């Protein structure tokens, strides 16, 4: 009888220990995911939506890794210096540029944000060789829905994949008039 009591007490202690450890691990993981999401909220607010370029670039130094990589429809860009140039170019072209986070999901070291970028093009948009010419200022407002997947390392943004609706942005900017576009039928491609 004493043996059964000892085994039962051991099993209860082990179960309680596993339950406490599991709950602690869940709490720790939830806290890490929330910290990662908070970092992304800061990036959208303090870097991309901040009208003070100097403060935005200082925040970028704090929130991005030095070897940051971005992947978008124009290619891959490497290094924090490249990203800071993007920030300065965006602020120059769109002095009122803003990113409003609509949804955010985190899993592991990845955070996905769905956001709406808005601004009025009051400055030129630099040319992207092989992709787009210089776009002169047109004083038109744009609303660009976007989705980005971010990978964080040690509390900083290390890599990002961006998916933005440039088709509608180009229509809003007056670069494309879909009503005046003509296309060859699919049979012409054979």
Whole-model pTM over 0.85:
no
CATH of domain 2-178: 3.10.450.50
pLDDT at position 172: 83
**For residues 56-65, average pLDDT:** 97
Binning pLDDT at 50, 70 and 90, where does residue 54 land?
very high
More confident position, 16 or 81: 81
The domain locations on the chain are: 2-178
Share of the chain above pLDDT 70, in %: 84
More confident position, 183 or 135: 135
Binning pLDDT at 50, 70 and 90, where does residue 176 land?
confident
- The alpha carbon of 68 is separated from its chain's Cα centroid by a whole number of angstroms, namely 12
pLDDT at position 16: 57
């Amino acid at each position: 009888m004493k043996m059964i009591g000892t085994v039962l007490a051991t099993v209860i202690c082990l179960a309680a220990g596993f339950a406490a450890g599991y709950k602690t691990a869940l709490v720790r993981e939830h806290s890490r995911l929330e910290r990662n999401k908070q970092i992304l909220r800061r990036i959208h607010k303090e870097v991309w939506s901040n009208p003070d370029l100097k403060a935005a670039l200082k925040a970028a130094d704090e929130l991005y890794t030095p070897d940051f990589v971005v992947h978008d429809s124009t290619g891959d860009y490497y290094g924090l210096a490249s990203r800071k140039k993007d920030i300065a170019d965006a602020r120059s072209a769109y002095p009122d540029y803003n990113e409003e986070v609509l949804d955010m999901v985190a899993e592991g070291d990845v955070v996905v944000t769905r956001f709406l970028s808005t601004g009025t093009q009051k400055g030129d948009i630099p040319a992207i060789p092989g992709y787009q010419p210089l776009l002169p200022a047109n004083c038109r407002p744009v609303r660009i829905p976007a989705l980005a997947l971010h990978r964080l390392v040690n509390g900083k943004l290390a890599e990002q994949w961006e998916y933005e609706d440039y088709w509608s942005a180009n229509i809003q900017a007056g670069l494309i008039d879909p009503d005046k576009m003509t296309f060859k039928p699919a049979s012409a491609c054979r």
